[in-house]
Every structure is written in structure tokens, then in C-alpha cells.
Amino acid sequence: RFNVKLLTLVFLVCFSRHDLTDSSGEYVKFSKEKFWLEPPSEQQRKQLEEELKLSGTNLKSHAWYHGQIPWEVSESLVLNHGDFLIRDSQSSPGDFVLTAHWEQETLHFLIRKTAVQSGETYTRVQYSLEGEAFDSIPALVHFYVGGRAALSRWSGAQIHRPVNRTLPLTYLETAFCTAVGAPPCPRGLRSGEERVCPRSPSSLHHREADVSRGQDEQTLLTAGEASLSTPYSNNTPQSRSPCSSRAVSVAPSPSLPRCSDTAQPPTSPNSTLHRERDDRPQPHPNQDSPFSDTDGSCYTELYPGPQSYVERLRVEEGSAGLDPLRVEDGNANFSPVVETVSSFKPSGYQSPLMPKENKPLEVGVLRRVKELLAEIDPRTAAKHITKADCKMARILEVTPEMQRMMGVSSGMELLTLPHGQQLRLDLLERFQTMAIMLAVDVLGCTGTNEERAGLLHKIIQIAAELKSTMGNMFGFAAVMRALELPQVSRLEQTWMALRQRHTEGAILYEKSLRPFMKSLNDGRESCPLSNTTFPHVLPLLSLLEKSVAVGEGTEPWETVEVGVDVVMFHLGAARTIAQLGGIYRSNAESKLQGFQEQAEVLELFLTDFQMRLLWGSRGATENQALRYAKFDQVLTALSNKLEPPVRSR
């Protein structure tokens, strides 16, 4: 076995909270006959940091956005297969262009912008390439990066690695908007025209709304941070032939406002490029993996180095005496609160379904639980589970105060960060407790095999609703764990009765749900973003909190044959999940719109209630490992009582 914990920590250090990768761009300043390249000054680095600290609703906070750079410059930045960046359109002011490198060609995709009427007075803007539309540019970017979707059907191009800017936008606007003379246009293009991909609807679409780029976007994602210590390459980017890109000319639009002739960028003729030198092996420069780092700077955190951006920020805020909850110019400056106490308080929990103090598995409470589960239909149960899951995971009903305390906008991002450990532990507690409660519902049924088969069928239906209707992969995994517990799966007579009395349920479980669950865990399956309310985070929780991970068997990533591939898949998925909390929230709100919860039914799926039901008012506060060990024995005893094990002679 390899050291999964170390690999996990290295990965999360390398791919920090907001960046998808560590790539950085080197800007080429074109003149009539030459170009030059210079590293950012300390002042420019600070300006870049200030831009990246802006709110996530400001496009400037995302490092892959390069502003008003010419298409020639963008082509000099995207050098590797899958590289991409976002820039302003030169031919269509107010629009954006996605520049990408795919199969040894540089492609430019004009992002279509459409005005959508929401009510009588409010209009919002959506962005798209060919298919699905998004409420913000970051949402579009992370959809195509995380889902590995093709940018267009005709090109088949995909984007994997953003090229992060290394200079502030204010400097770039000055440097590339001067009137010293633009580079000659490629053959077939007139001055002011822009190269975009042919046959792309986004390049031919007439803009329905002219919304200023400075307008606040209703983005669903958080701000990006660039790796500000990425060393510059000694290699000068190769100039590109106009024939190296697929392009068609588009109708000229009013040109961008030219900057003053006197607004020259400060040059440094004697400036040289420096690169951090060390003895570490460097990846192959042509490596196409989305996780590759062409200059090795990803691992600088493992070696002594200059003070990081976060450390400098803490020092600056501390010396300035900032109030951690002070809000200035709409952007919050604060230090997140590190939670050390569980959000579950079973000892003080009060429920109309149980007395103030109760014993483990109290008969009267169990009977009422069985009655409620029998009364509700599977879809209603799935909606109650999803609402409880999303509230607990801070996908739904997240207040600004909660966001300030977390330091991020969604629990999906928090669980990937170091100070999100308590949330990870609480999610594991909820997962295990939900599975045990459903298993008790089956094993506690002392009636006939047919009655237990009916309960199994009901639970299978709930799992199917969670997966397909609600898109709640966390709840789906918990219900599936209940069915896969050895104490339940060994009940041969009960499962036989299920196949005889509820054939469709048995087929659904064995041919669809169980294989899908295995594919999720093995990293061979993912869920459609448009339908997901709570993504499959259990592998990530297990990787980061192995000491309390559920289950006793070997996980898929702990086998030599597929271990690294599975680990990298789940960690890559975690980076995407962290950025898409807003989309999950929107999906959950949409699926729960108009849903009227039933107080008693919701109680069944609250973790505090389940802990009190299983371990009693006193036992619920005991050590977690001890609680699980004791209850594993209880489940085994219940299972053996229903179907005594066959003794081998």
C-alpha cells in the first residue's frame, strides 16, 4: 500500500482552494518588429494579489481571466494540449473569448451572451458556447473543465489547465492598449477583426444584450487565486504562424477605445528572467495530463521558500489591526473560524417522537419510526433526506454570517480545506448513522421474510429516488451502505423473498443501483452536473479522515493495481466540487421548490434523532469508535437471530 494520506495532502497543497492548476502565462509585448518579455515587479505582484482577493462575483478575481490582451498574445500563452484562458473580445467589446490549445492548434471561441427576462423588471445574462447556458463565466469554465465536455461538436476540443495571469489587469490594459502600433493582421483578416472558430454558433450569434463587463455577475463560484510564486520559463514563447489556428473573419465591430499614446508601460531593458533552481526532477514539458506541472513549482510548498500569499495576507491584516468581520467596498476581510465541536448535540436534542431521556432502541420509538416509514412514499422520503443532507452540509440555507465564519460561500468548498475537518467528521457521522438506522429498520423486523422483503423494497426505491430524481449522491450512498452491510446482505431468505415478491426492485438493485455505486467509488462514473444536488464526496471524506472512515474492507484506492488512478480521480473531482457549490444550491432549490416538509418525517432523517434512537440519551455522547463497535455487535446479533448461521461440520 502506498501512503494515500501523504498523496492526498500533497495534492491539496498543490491545487489550492481556487486554482484548477498551477500554470502561469508569460506575456509577449508586440511591437512592429520585435517583442520583449519581463517578469512582474514587486508592485505588480501586490496589485495582482489585490485583484485576486476581490469577491468571486468580480471576474478579475479569477486568475485565468487575462482581460484585454490581443489574440496574438493569447496564442503565445496556451502552449500545451488542453491549456486555456479567457480574454476580452477585441472585435466585439463587452464579449469574452475562450482561447484554447487542442491537438497542436490554437482555437478561439467567442462566448455567446444572452439576456434572459426574469420577472417584469429584472433581466439577467447567461453565457454559453454551444449547449448549456450559465449565469456566469466562472460557472461555464468549471463546467467544461470538471465535466471534460467538448467546447463544440465540430472541434471536439476540451480544456484541462487554465493559464493563470502573472501581471495585474491594470498593467495589461496599459501594455496592450497603447497606440505604438499593432502587429500586422494575418492574411484574410482586416484590422480590428478577430479570429474565432468557424461554424461555432457562439461566433455567429448576434448579441441580444450589451451588458457591461464591469457589471456584477451573479456567479455561483468563488474567487480564484493564482500561484504568485510560479517561476518564469527561460524559454521564449515561439511566435505562431497565422495558419496554426483555425479561423474565419467576422464582421468588424466598433474598436476598443485606444489608450493614450503616452501611456507606455514601464520597461526594463536590462531585466532578466530568473527560475528557481533545485534538484527535483522536472515533468516532461509535453505531458498532457491535467495534473502535470510543467515547471515543478507545484511542490514548492514542500521545501523552504518565500512567504506565501496567505501568510503575507495574515501579516498585513494583523499589522493593520483589521476587524476580522469588517466589510469594505463589498468585499469581506475576515479570518475563518476553525470549528472544533460537532454540530450534532444529541444530549440536548428534544423531539416529539421520543422522551427527554431514552434508552437505546426503545421499543415505542422504534414502532413509531416504522409506522412513519411505512406511511410515506419513496419520493417524499427522498426529498426529506435531501433537505436534511443539504442543510447539514451547508449547501442550502447558508447565511452571510455562516459564510464569513467558514471563509467560503459553500460547505462543498469548506470540506476540501484544512479548517473544514469538523464538517468532514460530521458528514461521516451522518453517513454512518443513517445507514445503521435503516439497517435496524430491516433487522428489527421480527415478522415474516415477506415483511422484511417489503422493507428492503421500500429502501431500494428510496435509493433510486435519491439517485435519479433528487441527484443526492450522499444520501444515495448512505442508503446503499445500509443494504450492503454484511448483517443485511447475508439474509439469504429475505433476499430470495425480495426476488420473488418484488422482482422489479431486486433487478433495479442488482443490475442498476449496486453497479452504479461501485462505479462511483471506483472513479469510473460521474453524475450529470445539471441534476446533482449533493455530489459523491464520500471517497474524499475517507481519504482525508482515514482514521474514522466508514467500513472495514479495503477501499478501491488502496489496491496497487488501480490505487493511484482512483485517488487522482477523486481528488480531481474534489477540486471541481469545491467550485460548484452555487450550482448544487440552485439544483437543490429547484428540486425542493414547493416542497412542504412533514415535521415528524423530517425528524427521522435528522442525525441528532438517529443518534438518540440508536444509542440512547447517554450513549449518544460516548466515543465514536466505541459506539460503532458496540452497535456492530448489536446488528450481528439481530441478523443471526433472524437467520442463524450455518455451522460447518
Average pLDDT over every residue of 617-624: 88
Position 170 scores a pLDDT of 85
Q: Evaluate if residue 22 carries a pLDDT over 90.
A: no
Report the alpha-carbon distance of residue 323 to residue 329 in Å, rounded. 14
Which segments of 63-148 are extended strands (E)? 83-88, 96-102, 105-118, 122-128
Considering 142, 158, 176, which residue would you say is the last residue of a domain? Answer: 176
DSSP for 185-212, please give it. Answer: PPTT--TT---B-TT-HHHHPPPS----
Q: Is residue 622 part of a domain?
A: yes
Higher pLDDT among residues 230 and 553, named by residue: 553
Average pLDDT over every residue of 164-188: 63
Position 302 scores a pLDDT of 33
Q: What is the pTM of this model?
A: 0.55
Higher pLDDT among residues 274 and 154, named by residue: 154
Q: Evaluate if residue 230 carries a pLDDT over 50.
A: no
Q: Evaluate if residue 506 carries a pLDDT over 80.
A: yes
Position 91 scores a pLDDT of 83
Q: Evaluate if residue 21 carries a pLDDT over 80.
A: no
The pLDDT tens digits for 569-592 are 888 888 889 888 988 999 999 999
Dihedral, CA of residue 484, residue 485, residue 491 and residue 494, to nearest 10: -50
Report the alpha-carbon distance of residue 54 to residue 169 in Å, rounded. 13
Q: Is residue 251 part of a domain?
A: no
Report the alpha-carbon distance of residue 512 to residue 495 in Å, rounded. 16
Confidence class of residue 460 from pLDDT cuts 50, 70 and 90?
Answer: very high
Report the alpha-carbon distance of residue 164 to residue 20 in Å, rounded. 10
Position 390 scores a pLDDT of 97
Considering 154, 176, 198, which residue would you say is the last residue of a domain? Answer: 176
Q: Residue 400: which of 314, 338, 332 has the closest Cα?
A: 332
Average pLDDT, the chain: 74
Q: Evaluate if residue 558 carries a pLDDT over 90.
A: no
Place of cell 433510486: 464
Average pLDDT over every residue of 317-339: 51
Range ranked top by mean pLDDT from 83-87, 249-253, 338-342: 83-87
Report the alpha-carbon distance of residue 123 to residue 218 in Å, rounded. 11
Q: Residue 415: which of 558, 545, 516, 529 has the closest Cα?
A: 545
Higher pLDDT among residues 151 and 548, named by residue: 151
Q: Evaluate if residue 165 carries a pLDDT over 80.
A: yes
CATH of the domain at 119: 3.30.505.10
Q: Is residue 232 part of a domain?
A: no
Q: How many other C-beta atoms are found inside a 10 Å radius of the C-beta of residue 367?
A: 11
Confidence class of residue 434 from pLDDT cuts 50, 70 and 90?
Answer: very high
Higher pLDDT among residues 38 and 60, named by residue: 60
The answer for residues whose C-beta is within 8 angstroms of residue 531's C-beta and 6 or more apart is 471, 587
Place of cell 498593467: 171
Higher pLDDT among residues 479 and 299, named by residue: 479
Report the alpha-carbon distance of residue 422 to residue 427 in Å, rounded. 9
Place of cell 492548434: 105
Please check whether residue 141 is in contact with residue 64, taking contact to mean a CB–CB distance below 8 angstroms: yes
Q: Where in the sequence is the domain holding 59, given as residue range(s)?
A: 42-176
What residue type is 178 in one-letter code?
T
Half-sphere exposure of 349 (CA within 13 A, CB side): 23
The answer for residues whose C-beta is within 8 angstroms of residue 234's C-beta and 6 or more apart is 273, 275
Position 638 scores a pLDDT of 93
Report the alpha-carbon distance of residue 372 to residue 41 in Å, rounded. 67
Confidence class of residue 600 from pLDDT cuts 50, 70 and 90?
Answer: very high
Q: Evaluate if residue 286 carries a pLDDT over 60.
A: no
User: How many structural domains does the chain have?
Assistant: 2
The 10 Å CB-count burial string (b at 16+, else e) for 460-472 is: bbbbbbbbeebbb
- Lowest model confidence (mean pLDDT) among 25-29, 42-46, 303-307: 303-307
Q: Is residue 271 part of a domain?
A: no
Position 437 scores a pLDDT of 95
φ and ψ at residue 322, rounded to 5 degrees: -75, 140
Position 281 scores a pLDDT of 38
Give the DSSP letter of residue 647: P
Report the alpha-carbon distance of residue 485 to residue 457 in Å, rounded. 16
Dihedral, CA of residue 445, residue 446, residue 451 and residue 455, to nearest 10: 10
Considering 129, 161, 176, which residue would you say is the last residue of a domain? Answer: 176
Q: Distance between alpha carbon 470 and the CA centroid of its chain, in Å? A: 18
Q: Is residue 184 part of a domain?
A: no
Q: Evaluate if residue 185 carries a pLDDT over 50.
A: no
Report the alpha-carbon distance of residue 64 to residue 160 in Å, rounded. 12
- 3-state SS assignment for residue 626: helix
Range ranked top by mean pLDDT from 116-120, 240-244, 300-304, 622-626: 622-626
Q: Is residue 338 part of a domain?
A: no
Tell how strand 331-333 and strand 105-118 pair up: unpaired
Position 543 scores a pLDDT of 87
Average pLDDT over every residue of 11-28: 46
Please check whether residue 4 is in contact with residue 563, taking contact to mean a CB–CB distance below 8 angstroms: yes
Angle at 26 between CA 23 and CA 32, to 5 degrees: 150
Angle at 416 between CA 409 and CA 168, to 5 degrees: 65
**Grid coordinates standing for 557?**
484506492
Q: Is residue 599 part of a domain?
A: yes
The pLDDT tens digits for 65-99 are 999 888 888 888 898 889 999 999 888 888 999 99
Position 201 scores a pLDDT of 35
Q: Evaluate if residue 315 carries a pLDDT over 60.
A: no
What are the Cα distances from residue 324, in Å, to 53, 79, 542? 15, 41, 32
Q: Is residue 93 part of a domain?
A: yes
Q: Evaluate if residue 369 carries a pLDDT over 70.
A: yes
CATH of the domain at 618: 1.10.840.10
Position 117 scores a pLDDT of 73
Average pLDDT over every residue of 466-487: 96
Q: Evaluate if residue 100 carries a pLDDT over 90.
A: yes
Cross-strand partners of 116: 124
Q: Evaluate if residue 326 carries a pLDDT over 60.
A: no
Report the alpha-carbon distance of residue 451 to residue 373 in Å, rounded. 13
Average pLDDT over every residue of 222-243: 34
Position 646 scores a pLDDT of 78
Q: How many other C-beta atoms are found inside a 10 Å radius of the C-beta of residue 53?
A: 16
Angle at 157 between CA 520 and CA 529, to 5 degrees: 35
Q: How many other C-beta atoms are found inside a 10 Å radius of the C-beta of residue 31?
A: 12
Q: Residue 52: which of 221, 214, 138, 165 has the closest Cα?
A: 165
Position 536 scores a pLDDT of 94
The answer for residues whose C-beta is within 8 angstroms of residue 35's C-beta and 6 or more apart is 28, 29, 239
Position 171 scores a pLDDT of 83
Report the alpha-carbon distance of residue 92 to residue 109 in Å, rounded. 13
Position 485 scores a pLDDT of 94
